[in-house]
Structure 1
């Protein structure tokens, strides 16, 4: 009589978040004796560094986003779930989805990212959307393009001026890139396409509460970026925090600026991961983690990317940028492999690979630490670096050709007004 045998259950790894950190963790676990469940509330991975180019009509959504299932179609060890996580049971080792489903885990990786933060004024969000998702980008693109369309038909000079005023709040890399590209759109792409307005007279205003833009960059690169923006026609307002955002415009310092389009690039807040775990977090909601990126008292839970606050080798916080999330994801995947093999694994060490920001055509700044670059050379390196990290040859070629076309002919072909937006439409801009 033969004895039936049951193969031992494989180690279950649940990864929450399909961003840079989550994807790199899954990739690093290739070949490990684990079953992976990747959960995300969207079915696609976004190349966030180029999200602003979708918002400003330079690239199409399909050029910076890829279906997660497609990315891992050849990985039989990975199961993908489209769902929204609402809680975690550390005792039961389960992740709970919005529909009530419980997904069990042996090791949990939280790579849930962050959203824009309004410093206690969430009521501003309808009037000043941030930029973290494809939906955000298409909403902003719609508002920018609709502002020009409605200005074309507006008879009241004051209202027309407000429609042609674009405000970006926040002088970090995203704010700088948005402001520079909006100014170029108005001054080089659109002038010949409208008959009743002069798009070159539009105003792009960048508001930064601090004393300078790109505050994490060296002073000379920050100064170059400000000068370059001003040469593009961007008005840079420093040292005046925003006090109010509404359908009528923005109040900053002691000034009121009527504006139909406001974009928020001033701050971020982590996902509710710390709340799910009942764990310590900083003021921005970021989890406090140990040097091996595990949550205190929970060695089975890793947290990475914008979800966490951790110091780099120089004592400064690891920045919330794509390379940092990718490094952390690779580290966690290797750490899990080492743990399963009962091998020691060193603490996470972040290696800063440089900071890059585009300002406009042939204008960018790069800080590699050991060398600083600006101007057209920095712009070429910025472009090559971003193309390199895109997924797939077709996407790389498409983006490269798009940029070449924009650079040569000043034309942006992704100027589609899509998505219903009541605030940006009939009530806000009529």
Structure 2
């Protein structure tokens, strides 16, 4: 890399950061792509990984592999920690908690959002969200471990609580998870247990609105509700989950009324998102306005007011009610790259214009929704269109080919070939399900310590 060329720092290897970096490949700039996991994750298919339909390799790709052939792009592992806009530097935290500094001429903030627990961070201990590969693997562990534990218990309330699954949030992720868990219970595990009947597992879906998938047209939303009911998902609307415990949840009606207690050992949270801490730090340092979720108010070209060298793209953009979807991030990344290229050419920047490419949601095997302008598909046609769209956007040819093979195989048989999960070790308390310390080695005598 040349020390004389303009330095572009992209924070975040999601859709926005990836598409921005791709467009800057072979351009006369030096690009540094910083990501806290050093991989691009196809987040819309996380729930398929969580429920054993796809493997980690099907929905992720190392950023180094992606840009190995582009000499002007380097990728770094680390988490952005501190911004100095005067010196134009970002301090980065390594996994071992040491730091290093990256300087920039242009900064593209594509760090995305994280799961929000609406002011109750303690819920995260018992209710994982769905934002990272770690989340997906933890959810897989929780779902399949719940059935295994239930198999060892006699009939009664405790077994029932292990066979009850609660999902907070009726958006696309919540709907997809709820439908997948019922499919796991009724199809995947149906004939694999002796003491329990997996199809008797309850899936409870809680949402504060009056229907699922509120971003979809009412008729499609109604079809989704009907299909979920047919699958056996129990939907509760107009309520908020106000407490999450080891053995259950408390649900409170929005309009008042008595609280309801549900005994469940598996709670999954999809009820909200908020800006990552670094994005809030950037807004504070730059004096930028934010909304309640931490989205940053930007100029028409997606730069922070007073800082034309700092772009904000994707879910973090707080203008024009832009949706928090992959298409917005992709288009934002391409727009930021186009602005950088126009700067190099001495041409004026253009304002960002989002083009709505539609919405899709997976309900169950052979059943999905697709909404693109006036076009609305559901059932099998929606499912086929959903699959083709997702595969088209997968990163890397190898990812697409392997996922196509897996997906086509699933048409003939609704199997789940990636159900392996790990319980961890007794000395790792962050692993939710593990064996107790009874089998740890005895402490060595003092003279041998």
Could you say which residue in structure 2 is the equivalent of 1:344?
A: 348
Structure 1 residues 239, 426: closer, same or farther in 2, change over 3 A?
A: farther
Is 1:69 aligned with 2:74?
no
Could you say which residue in structure 1 is the equivalent of 2:248?
A: 249
Could you say which residue in structure 1 is the equivalent of 2:273?
A: 268
Which of 292, 311, 314 is 1:283 aligned to? 292
Is the Cα–Cα contact under 8 Å of residues 364 and 375 in structure 1 kept in the other structure? yes
**Number of aligned residue pairs:** 416
Give CA deviations for 1:71-117 in whole Å, capped at 9, x if unaligned: 00001001111111101101110011123311110000000011100
State the TM-score, normalizing by the size of structure 1.
0.94
Is 1:358 aligned with 2:362?
yes
Could you say which residue in structure 2 is the equivalent of 1:160?
A: 159
Could you say which residue in structure 1 is the equivalent of 2:316?
A: 307
Is the Cα–Cα contact under 8 Å of residues 115 and 270 in structure 2 kept in the other structure? yes
Which of 291, 303, 309 is 1:294 aligned to? 303
Cα shift at 1:397: 2.7
The RMSD of aligned alpha carbons is: 1.4
Which of 258, 265, 268 is 2:263 aligned to? 258
Give CA deviations for 1:305-331 in whole Å, capped at 9, x if unaligned: 1122121xxxxx111111110000001
Could you say which residue in structure 2 is the equivalent of 1:222?
A: 221
Cα shift at 1:43: 1.5
Structure 1 residues 270, 8: closer, same or farther in 2, change over 3 A?
A: closer
> For 1:193, what is the secondary structure of its paired residue?
coil
Cα shift at 1:274: 3.1
CA distance in 2, matches of 1:343, 1:407: 50
More displaced 10-residue stretch of structure 1: 67-76 or 387-396: 387-396
Could you say which residue in structure 2 is the equivalent of 1:4?
A: none
CA distance in 2, matches of 1:8, 1:96: 19
CA distance in 1, matches of 2:225, 2:271: 17
Cα shift at 1:425: 4.1
CA distance in 2, matches of 1:193, 1:404: 24
Which of 331, 335, 339 is 2:339 aligned to? 335
Could you say which residue in structure 1 is the equivalent of 2:140?
A: 141
Is the Cα–Cα contact under 8 Å of residues 274 and 280 in structure 1 kept in the other structure? no
After superposing on structure 2, the runs of 4+ consecutive aligned residues of structure 1 that deviate more than 6 Å are none
More displaced 10-residue stretch of structure 1: 414-423 or 33-42: 414-423
More displaced 10-residue stretch of structure 1: 222-231 or 8-17: 8-17
Is 1:382 aligned with 2:423?
no
Could you say which residue in structure 2 is the equivalent of 1:314?
A: none
CA distance in 1, matches of 2:9, 2:63: 15
Is the Cα–Cα contact under 8 Å of residues 152 and 195 in structure 1 kept in the other structure? yes
Cα shift at 1:8: 7.3
> For 1:168, what is the secondary structure of its paired residue?
strand
CA distance in 2, matches of 1:223, 1:127: 31
Which of 80, 85, 89 is 1:85 aligned to? 80
Could you say which residue in structure 1 is the equivalent of 2:397?
A: 393
Is the Cα–Cα contact under 8 Å of residues 61 and 396 in structure 2 kept in the other structure? no
Which of 20, 44, 52 is 1:25 aligned to? 20
5 Å matches for 1:97-246? 97-98=92-93, 99-246=98-245
Give CA deviations for 1:273-302 in whole Å, capped at 9, x if unaligned: 132342221100111111100001111000
Is the Cα–Cα contact under 8 Å of residues 167 and 259 in structure 1 kept in the other structure? yes
> For 1:125, what is the secondary structure of its paired residue?
helix
Could you say which residue in structure 1 is the equivalent of 2:445?
A: none
Which of 29, 36, 41 is 2:31 aligned to? 36
Structure 2 gaps of 5+ residues are 253-258, 425-429, 437-449
CA distance in 2, matches of 1:401, 1:256: 44
